[in-house]
Structure 1
């Protein structure tokens, strides 16, 4: 297998250990279906609703695994990260449950709802400009000042192992899936799917869904190496970050394909899901449905697990209210 040497990648056994470790702190989220969406797509869709998760997003799984895996000595200085939102508030939630500090670097343009949630969980925010380079530069200063344990939003073995618990639940809740699809930004959730499904259900195809305006993962997949965009602009604010070496190792070896959707298609899918399923979901979470509806020949007649990654939306700034 290519690019998987000396990367300290998590194992299936790490995922099982994570599942036991985080069980007291996370929900086993429900799987919902929609007859209307099945008819529109020609597929049988099973939505794994991580928007009902603690802290409103799947990222609490990886964050809890990292925080509760620390020794008491390591935990004393707290944890630190950079994040556009959901990892920030998930790590703040986990740190709060353990009673340790959490330092977060967030883009100044991050949704106010996510900033408020981070502070509500006790996180300490330092703002940066909305680019990967600014985020990493500002974080370096925070990390050096605090000495806190760095929990990367996705390029961290503990985080990937934690995210793998989501698809482990899904294949217990829904038998005989043909495929699983999830959004892709940095690749933490997709890597968790690869980690779990390649061992527990290798017959299940893994698809990633990405905004066309932030399609660096799709271009990387086709080029055979990581292509990183610094500051893409998309309504799917959780999917702006690039792949890193650990997530690329999983993506390049286990993902069947990465498919993209336009901004209009993403917003339409978000509205459609809100209207038909009566659930709150972020624009990033609507990308898989947008991709499914755009590519009926790929998914028609198949049983598909769709991971709804989060529900932390600024209700005063919904995308169809802009203009």
Structure 2
């Protein structure tokens, strides 16, 4: 069974809606190059929306969608909230439905005006929580896990991955997407990664990152072909992000860190610690691969919050108030 046939079976709604959905989802994956997880989330949101409309006793077709009223969309959002869905997920769902509506409009079916008339739910933006410098450095060292029953090459592998997250600000998917040819060794002081939207960027690899990768390659028991993955699992296949997440979880207790200390927190720490050292915001944006400076500007709030905490803890008048 093809992917298109699978989508057709899983989506409720009339045949014209299912056919339009297949074309839309295929375009998200192939033309816009959204991640498989994002495409699946949008498919799930559309399925839930169509199922909600079908509860009224009609099988929703494209004319039904075109004729929707804002109250119909609000009713769906309200039902999802009653199911315990948070504002962030609702915002994503509405974004996906609007994307589908734009697809219908482009295909000449007409505008789903109700989706434009409903405001997106307000979501408080959660600030990233950077790790203390000492803890971030410790995570990128195999020494912190010497007591674990793991082969030394595995400890070095995990340390090299985490060194790339903290020392170069990579996403975990970007680090695990590197090939052996990409390795910053032998005098190579940068890595080229493919980020969100398949955008390529070059990021410096400092000496400590290079040393961590070199140590891993020296100990790795597998022959790594140039175009194969740089980081491999216990059986020589591509390394799973879950393995790196478990490695970080095993360190949290030893370092006294909260559950928010994740692999992605190392990337946040990279940006926050650079900013604390007077790093240029535009340069940090380029290093992180953010499409918008507004995304990077979140770190200015993080840095200010940390300074205020330090002020409250240390200033005599702050303690007295």
Fold agreement, TM-score > 0.5: no
Where is the helix percentage greater, Structure 1 or Structure 2? 2
TM-score normalised by the chain length of structure 1: 0.25
Structure with the greater alpha carbon radius of gyration: 2
* Structure with higher strand content: 1
TM-score (norm 2): 0.25
